[in-house]
Amino acid sequence: MNELIFAWIGAVVSVIALICLLSWLWIVYNNDVDKRYNEKRDEKLKEYDDFAKELNRQSDILGCDEWGHWSWEYYNFEKLTKEMIELRKFKKNNEKALAEIGGEDE
């Protein structure tokens, strides 16, 4: 009878040890998966951050809404028009200066 009790206790302890081992392996595996996921997520966030910086840089000239959606509604015609007028004035002044000194525009 004692041998049967010891056999049952041994079986229960073996099952508990097996469950602990499998749990530990599962935790280790999931931590590795989480690390790989976090690395990929960080790479994507960096790409999005770079894209957002580029979009903000371009939005000063072209114009977009606060979410980064390009739209004719937000197109900055006033700024582009002012820049074009300044370029035309510069070109006219340059041509006048060249004409006064007798040079030609290349």
Distance (Å, whole) CA 19 – CA 10: 14
Report whether pLDDT(78) > 60: yes
* Predicted model pTM: 0.35
Sequential DSSP letters for the chain: -HHHHHHHHHHHHHHHHHHHHHHHHHHHHHHHHHHHHHHHHHHHHHHHHHHHHHHHHHHTTT---TT----GGG--HHHHHHHHHHHHHHHHHHHHHHHHHT----
Q: In the chain, what is the straight-line distance between the N-terminal and C-terminal CA atoms, in Å?
A: 112
pLDDT tier at 103 (50, 70, 90 boundaries)? low
Distance (Å, whole) CA 81 – CA 61: 11
More confident residue, 1 or 10: 10
pLDDT mean across residues, the chain: 76
| pLDDT over 90, % of the chain | 15
Range 1-23 average pLDDT: 91
Distance (Å, whole) CA 40 – CA 46: 10
Range 65-74 average pLDDT: 57
Single-letter amino acid, residue 14: S
The 10s digit of each residue's pLDDT in 13-56 is 999 999 999 998 888 887 777 788 888 888 888 888 887 777 66
pLDDT tier at 106 (50, 70, 90 boundaries)? very low
